[in-house]
Structure 1
Amino acid sequence: MNKRKLPDSLEYSLAKKKILLEIAPDFETTRVCGDIEVGEDGDTERGIIIRIKLSDGTDSPIIESHDSANSDKPKQQIKYGELVILGYNGFLPQGDRGRRRSKFVLYKRAVATGVKKSRHYVVKTPLSSQAILDTTQHSISYTLSRNHAVIVEYTNDEETDMFQIGRSSESPIDFVVMDTIPGDKTTEVKVNQSTISRFACRILCERNNPKVARIYAAGFDTSRNIFLGEKACKWQENGREIDGQTTNGVLIMHPRGNFCGGEAKCGVWVETSVGGGVFTRRESRSAQQRGQVVEDATNVLQDGTLIDLCGATLLWRSAEGLEKTPSKHDLEKVIDEINAGRPQCPVGLNTLVIPRRVSPNENQQQPYVYLNCGHVQGLHDWGQDKDSGARKCPICLELGPVVKVCMGLEPAFYVDSGLPTFAFNPCGHMATEKTVKYWANVVIPHGTNGFQAVCPFCASPLSGSPGFVRLIFQDNVD
């Protein structure tokens, strides 16, 4: 296939203004307005320079504008943390696009966007109340009966930044999340009926203490309202402030111990409310009776907290935790080191090469792992059982399934650095021993009230016990 080389720049004239389109080698998107050339009469013309970038999902989706004539070197943005969807190996199948991506980075905003409670009152007709009709007013409506509702008004909070997550592609949503399909994602598959709320949850980060981020169920819609209908789970006890939970709920799990280092254990899944309270899980996701108050729990996210939206599970990585996590470059360097050892197939005697991405096409250099014993070999037909599809390992004669080996390339899922000596069963994603063992012991909500361990790189449910295998390469043959 012939490849066309992109030009370094393209220049257009539009309404006597110069537009210069630069294709930057690092694909960075910025928009710079400034003086770009001098005309024949000596006057400086105004123009626009646009540089284009293809994001890998680690950058903020917000494109900032800078004046090239008046701005100094841009200050480094303060990072609150990252939200990463479980089940994606560093990118979406069709690529990260705008607010639809496999991960979202939360940066301190130029202007505070948070809100806080200001007052609440009772109304008979909530849909016609001033707070609901005013699109500049953030409010939550709790409908108790047909003619009885409680309105909670919110006012701007200069101390926090608010980020909203949900299925909706409307402007209030910062991070668009769709249902995760387990397994290989070579093509995009759509779910007929999603269980993720259009405005699922919101996160408020403290501007003066970037380490503190709190999660709340439900997000404000385009009219800056949240509605909890008559059938929604809600309560008001002993004259306290009213609170409630969304239809399918927002579950959170804080790991017990430090996520970085691999010593953490799976915590208890609990549910957070619209007001930020923490409760035990309901009997089912959509039950109208809430759980019990968990006094010693908090809605403050910690490094490694999981957030389940009933259809997709997100991992919260703090900025501090990410500094201790291997980068994508580090992981790719590890692949190069393993490939430099020239691991060999003992049957075909050909050199195996671990790919950065698994290709649907057959490749003689693609390594395969025997999931019952861990021996890594190339593609061959030796020892194949025609009835079951299983194969007998030529080294140890163990009969079992065989799968392609692929590197886990999403850095946020790693709990430590090191060689990828283990792989998940049945998908074959490689990672460090501590990373694989950590995720094999973490249960993810499944269905209305079930749990299962999954591979974080593809969301495939783990098979057997322990759900992983130690990789055995025949390498360094030279």
Structure 2
Amino acid sequence: MNGANAKMTRRPTTEVGDIMEAVKLKHASSDAMQKPIGEILGSDEIDGGKRRSPDPNAPIYGELIVLGTNGSLPCPQISSKMSHSFILRKQARATGVSVITRDPQDMDSLARKSTHTVTMNKTASNSTVTEYGHDPSTDLFQIGRSADSAIDFVVVETVTGLDGQRAYKGNSTVSRYACRIQCERRPPYSARLYAAAFDTHGRIQLSANAPMWQASTSDYDGLTTNGIAIMRPVGTFESGVSPSAWREVSVMGNMLKLREQRSSRNPGDEMPEETNILTDGCLIDLCGITLMFRTAIGLAQGPSQTILREHRRALNEKSPQCAVNLLTLHFRSGSGVSAVSADTITDLDEAVSASSREPWVYLRCGHIYSQHGWTAGPEESDKYRTCPLCREAGPYVKLELGRERGFFIDDGPLSHAFVPCGHITSEKTTRYWLNVLIPHLASEWIPRCPFCSAALDRNTPTVKLIFS
């Protein structure tokens, strides 16, 4: 894809109302607004239309994690189907569908009931319809911006405001019915990705403006307006992994090279040797939101929350010192870092003490201090300082612990941070993510911090932490 010329079609602001429900959000009860976001665990707690909640002990196909969510949603939940991650679990009854091939010599195929359709309108008077029927061997999961009953997992873009706070984006480029994933109900529980999702009437309709062609593996195929891109990493997280080239997946599940422009009507070249099967670490870009797919096996072999807590304790056991304020720095569990848990703070003095012990880092050199009043020149500010130890000038930010274990590549010590956000993770994790290119404003592909989606610094994307 030519990033410099890439374009994408923005969807009308009115469509965002299908999920954002701004009026409801303003008038929501205080109890609903105060519900802890961390309580949202995934799809096993989400009512996906007529689907009932599956057995919590049922096999897990995998997990979808939203990039930029460090273990919780960055904004208040505005749909019961929203979460920072979604569990794909075997359903009590099969929910999948498969293409119906009518054969005059096969009475079963003729008698098979059509439950879903894909209609491709080549012209105003010429269209092709592909029928789908119930498939007892698969489960279907659907993702999109719409909150109607056909969608299992709701995703909405966020943007960072001038105040540094994240908010939901008005002009969304994510489709209301973005994509669907079909999982085999028997081992090895393969999951396949398809562009577009069925609506409440079981229909997918591509207009005459959508890219369409007669495919080699199906009668007709097509792409959605802004497309669904997929990146399947090479290797495994345990033995070594590296990113690969991005591809686009079609409505019928075929793989293609990226279009020259994101919303171009000319599809990329078909890649018949490649597959739409999701592997551990796959990235799925919905043109505005990027999801990471982790298999159950991959998560089990990666670092657990217990290991991450042990790494945090290891940092605290070093008793890192601030050489300026002569304080012992502490990392606490949760979204931030401080010496004292918020639950135990009883007065203002204690709160100030906790804040004064929060670790901050000079991003050019990696030296760690607490927030202090040191300045070496009139042009310096609270977030741009000269390190008092090595005299290297650069951004000065508070450190944040990376908490989403699905983004970690290994269980190594917490020794590095992303620049410019200051999220702490292992060295191997930083090396992997700085080489992963993710769509940015549909004009280029850039590396991002997986924990907050901040664009990494072009010159110094990561820094090794140096404790006193």
What TM-score range do you get, normalising by the shorter chain? 0.7 to 0.9
The number of equivalent residue pairs is 400
> Please, which of 198, 201, 206 is the counterpart of residue 228 of structure 1?
206
Q: Please name the residue that 1:301 is paired with.
A: 278
> Please, which of 106, 123, 128 is the counterpart of residue 88 of structure 2?
106
Give the RMSD, CA atoms, in angstroms: 2.7
Per the TM alignment, residue 409 of structure 1 is displaced from its structure 2 partner at its CA by 0.1
Provide the C-alpha distance between the structure 1 equivalents of 2:118 and 2:102, rounded to a whole number of angstroms. 9
| Structure 2 counterpart of 1:342, one-letter code | S
Taking only the aligned residue pairs, the percentage that are identical comes to 40
Q: Which of 248-257 and 288-297 deviates more?
A: 288-297
Q: Which whole-Å deviations, capped at 9, do the CAs of 1:407-461 have from their partners, x for residues lacking one?
A: 0000100011021100000000000110111101110012234100000000000
Q: Please name the residue that 1:315 is paired with.
A: 292
Instruction: Specify whether residues 381 and 353 from structure 1 end up closer, same or farther in structure 2 by C-alpha distance, changes over 3 A only.
Output: same
Q: Please name the residue that 2:152 is paired with.
A: 174
Q: Please name the residue that 1:391 is paired with.
A: 385
Provide the C-alpha distance between the structure 2 equivalents of 1:59 and 1:237, rounded to a whole number of angstroms. 34
Per the TM alignment, residue 210 of structure 1 is displaced from its structure 2 partner at its CA by 4.1
Instruction: Specify whether residues 101 and 386 from structure 1 end up closer, same or farther in structure 2 by C-alpha distance, changes over 3 A only.
Output: farther
Is the Cα–Cα contact under 8 Å of residues 181 and 459 in structure 1 kept in the other structure?
Answer: no
Provide the C-alpha distance between the structure 2 equivalents of 1:348 and 1:118, rounded to a whole number of angstroms. 72
- The secondary structure found in structure 1 opposite 2:100 is strand
Provide the C-alpha distance between the structure 2 equivalents of 1:60 and 1:417, rounded to a whole number of angstroms. 27
> Please, which of 358, 367, 371 is the counterpart of residue 375 of structure 1?
367
- The secondary structure found in structure 1 opposite 2:297 is helix
Per the TM alignment, residue 89 of structure 1 is displaced from its structure 2 partner at its CA by 0.4
| Structure 1 counterpart of 2:369, one-letter code | Q
Q: Please name the residue that 2:462 is paired with.
A: 468
Provide the C-alpha distance between the structure 1 equivalents of 2:404 and 2:56, rounded to a whole number of angstroms. 27
Provide the C-alpha distance between the structure 1 equivalents of 2:401 and 2:409, rounded to a whole number of angstroms. 15
The reply on whether 1:61 has 2:55 as its aligned counterpart is no
Q: Which whole-Å deviations, capped at 9, do the CAs of 1:327-361 have from their partners, x for residues lacking one?
A: 22321232122123221101101111224323899
> Please, which of 434, 440, 445 is the counterpart of residue 440 of structure 1?
434
> Please, which of 158, 161, 165 is the counterpart of residue 139 of structure 2?
161
| Structure 2 counterpart of 1:311, one-letter code | G
Q: Which whole-Å deviations, capped at 9, do the CAs of 1:22-73 have from their partners, x for residues lacking one?
A: xxxxxxxxxxxxxxxxxxxxxxxxxxxxxx9973425622479xxxxxxxxx
Q: Which of 405-414 and 340-349 deviates more?
A: 340-349
Q: TM-score, normalised by structure 2?
A: 0.80
Counterpart mapping for 1:184-223 below 5 A: 187-223=165-201
- The secondary structure found in structure 2 opposite 1:241 is coil
Provide the C-alpha distance between the structure 2 equivalents of 1:296 and 1:238, rounded to a whole number of angstroms. 12
Provide the C-alpha distance between the structure 2 equivalents of 1:469 and 1:239, rounded to a whole number of angstroms. 48
Larger relative contact order (C-alpha < 8 A, sep ≥ 6)? Answer: 2
> Please, which of 69, 77, 88 is the counterpart of residue 69 of structure 2?
88
Q: Which of 429-438 and 333-342 deviates more?
A: 333-342
Per the TM alignment, residue 264 of structure 1 is displaced from its structure 2 partner at its CA by 1.2
| Structure 1 counterpart of 2:129, one-letter code | I
Is the Cα–Cα contact under 8 Å of residues 210 and 265 in structure 2 kept in the other structure?
Answer: yes
Provide the C-alpha distance between the structure 1 equivalents of 2:380 and 2:275, rounded to a whole number of angstroms. 49
| Structure 2 counterpart of 1:60, one-letter code | D
Provide the C-alpha distance between the structure 2 equivalents of 1:117 and 1:323, rounded to a whole number of angstroms. 34
Q: Please name the residue that 2:30 is paired with.
A: none
Instruction: Specify whether residues 78 and 184 from structure 1 end up closer, same or farther in structure 2 by C-alpha distance, changes over 3 A only.
Output: farther
- The secondary structure found in structure 2 opposite 1:181 is strand
Q: Please name the residue that 2:397 is paired with.
A: 403
Q: Please name the residue that 1:354 is paired with.
A: 331
- The secondary structure found in structure 2 opposite 1:81 is strand
Per the TM alignment, residue 393 of structure 1 is displaced from its structure 2 partner at its CA by 0.8
Per the TM alignment, residue 286 of structure 1 is displaced from its structure 2 partner at its CA by 0.6
Instruction: Specify whether residues 194 and 279 from structure 1 end up closer, same or farther in structure 2 by C-alpha distance, changes over 3 A only.
Output: same
Counterpart mapping for 1:244-393 below 5 A: 244-261=222-239, 263-355=240-332, 356-358=334-336, 363-389=355-381, 390-393=384-387
Instruction: Specify whether residues 333 and 62 from structure 1 end up closer, same or farther in structure 2 by C-alpha distance, changes over 3 A only.
Output: same
Is the Cα–Cα contact under 8 Å of residues 57 and 91 in structure 1 kept in the other structure?
Answer: no
Q: Please name the residue that 1:44 is paired with.
A: none
Q: Which whole-Å deviations, capped at 9, do the CAs of 1:147-206 have from their partners, x for residues lacking one?
A: 111111100001100000111111111110111436999845121210000010000000
Instruction: Specify whether residues 120 and 186 from structure 1 end up closer, same or farther in structure 2 by C-alpha distance, changes over 3 A only.
Output: farther
| Structure 1 counterpart of 2:224, one-letter code | T
| Structure 2 counterpart of 1:214, one-letter code | R
Counterpart mapping for 1:39-58 below 5 A: 55-57=39-41
Provide the C-alpha distance between the structure 1 equivalents of 2:286 and 2:358, rounded to a whole number of angstroms. 36
Q: Please name the residue that 1:126 is paired with.
A: none
Instruction: Specify whether residues 405 and 290 from structure 1 end up closer, same or farther in structure 2 by C-alpha distance, changes over 3 A only.
Output: same
Is the Cα–Cα contact under 8 Å of residues 178 and 196 in structure 1 kept in the other structure?
Answer: yes
